Amino acid sequence: MKKYIFLRLLMLSFVGIPWWLNAQNYTTIQGRVIDASNHHPVAAASVQVKGTPIGIVTNGDGQFLLKIPDGFQQDSVRFSYVGFIPVSIGIRELVARSPKNIIRLHPAIYNLNDITILSGNAYDLVQSAFANTVKNYGKKPVQMTGFYREFIKKGNRYIAISEAVLNLVKASYSSFASDQAAILKGRGIVDHSQIDTLFMKFQGGITSALTLDVMKNPFIGGTPLNEIGAYYTFTYGMPEMIDNRLNYVVDFDQRPETRGEIMFRGKIYIDAKTEAVTRMEFNMNVENRPEASDLFILKKPHGVRVDVVSAHYEVNYKEERHRWYYNYASMEVKFKCKWPKHWFSSYFTVKGELAITDHSDNITPIPPHDRVKWNEIVSDKVTNFKNDNFWESYNVIEPEKPIDQVIKKIAKQLKREEIRAEKETEKK
């Protein structure tokens, strides 16, 4: 059961923030990041003011919107993603072209002769990377600002969306202290017209995103580092370039003799120079495993069969001044639900993502009563979508087109209901 500590978490006060987050004067840059070789959008690409922690990631359509305080207008913005050559463009140039900026990232091409062949096997490299955690990620806690979004889809239709700007205290990597999170500002919406006999709620989404910090919670949760070789195989994959730095790629999967348990498979990206884990993407081996639903579902209506179709996770880190920082995490779980005596099944997708938009070494602990609890439901703690300028100067992940359309549609419904209620009150 120890290996499931992590899995269970994946179920369904304004203090210590850097000065520029309070800035009233800021410039907005907007555009889209695409693959120069095929013009496809690059999702989750990093968009960061060079030399600062100010940044965001692109959405699934490759779109971004970044708010930059006026004091940084002489700087440039760096665009990067795994396997591409990063691009830096001056802020003034980006402002002049907004919102029509098209950032083309070219695939990185490297000479295999320049790659140092490591001695030892892939398992040894993984052990070394985790052994260097404190050296690469630091002994001190970090105050962070982040943007969190979660949604639930039924088929291709969004039925619930929640968003929040978070105040975070990331605990030291040399301690067993837990990360702290508080909601600074949030909003949510539910499309009740799409709800029939079953409605899911996503429990503990913010905590789950923080738990995906595999350097704080190695190796994918409860499996002790000195035992992972007994559960997983590790082999070298093709190296990748991330931010113009060579990364070794280690593929892992659970051993054949452990197939009776539901574990993971995926890739670990390790910086060749520092041996820091820069990225990890992995799936839970839930395919064709009826018992997998017990790992995610707390309660379900009597008679409904729930199967887990897939479960995908990702976490990224960024280096700044020789220290690596937790930067982005996402989780996406797909379910199939079948009712008794019904011909057809319904498919649900639950996704949560957290992007760090800023950080500071000036720490102010979050009061216990303000902290997000591990089992809290974000949609129960945030307000309805109403104000177009709700986020003010905060940086957030741009909503993808379908999400944006749902938000606008339901916001109009809420406004009509509000006006109707006011008229009813006046009549009385």
Digit-by-digit pLDDT tens for the chain (428 residues) are 344 434 433 444 223 334 344 445 788 999 999 999 999 999 999 999 998 889 999 999 999 999 998 877 778 999 999 999 999 999 999 999 999 999 999 998 766 555 555 656 999 999 999 999 999 998 899 999 999 999 988 888 888 889 999 999 999 999 889 999 999 999 888 776 665 545 567 788 999 999 999 999 877 766 677 888 899 999 999 899 999 899 999 999 999 998 888 999 999 999 999 999 999 999 999 998 888 888 888 777 777 888 999 999 999 999 999 999 999 999 999 999 888 777 788 899 999 999 999 999 999 999 999 999 888 888 788 877 666 678 888 888 888 877 777 777 666 666 666 667 677 777 66
In a domain, 277, yes or no: yes
Check the CA dihedral 331-264-280-179 and report its sign.
positive
Task: Round to whole Å and give the CA distance between 331 and 214.
Answer: 13
Main-chain phi, psi angles of 256, to 5 degrees: -55, -35
- CA separation for the pair 133, 125 (Å, rounded): 13
Q: Is residue 78 part of a domain?
A: yes
Number of structural domains found in the chain: 2
- Same domain? For 78 and 134 the reply is no
Same domain, 179 and 308: yes
Structural domain boundaries enclosing 78: 26-107
Q: State the Cα–Cα distance between residues 128 and 125, nearest whole angstrom.
A: 5
Residue 113 lies in a domain: no
What local confidence, expressed as pLDDT, does residue 196 receive?
Answer: 52
**In terms of residues, how long is the chain?**
428
Is residue 131 assigned to a domain?
yes
Angle at 170 between CA 164 and CA 175, to 5 degrees: 150
Verify that 354 and 278 share a domain, yes or no.
Answer: yes
- Evaluate whether residue 179 is within a structural domain: yes
Kindly state whether residue 263 falls inside one of the protein's structural domains: yes
Backbone angles phi, psi at 227, to 5 degrees: -115, -5
262 and 207 in a common domain? yes
Q: Write down the pLDDT at residue 82.
A: 93
pLDDT at 89: 96
Residues 6+ apart with CB under 8 A from 312: 281, 282, 283, 331, 332, 333
Segments in 33-121 forming alpha helices (H) = 91-97
Tell me if 65 sits within 8 A of 55, measured CB to CB.
no
> The CATH number of the domain where 68 resides is what?
2.60.40.1120
Which residues, other chains included, contact 28 with Cβ-Cβ below 8 Å and sequence gap of 6+? 65, 66, 67, 68, 95, 98
Question: Do the domain assignments include residue 295?
Answer: yes
Partners of 255 in the beta sheet?
none
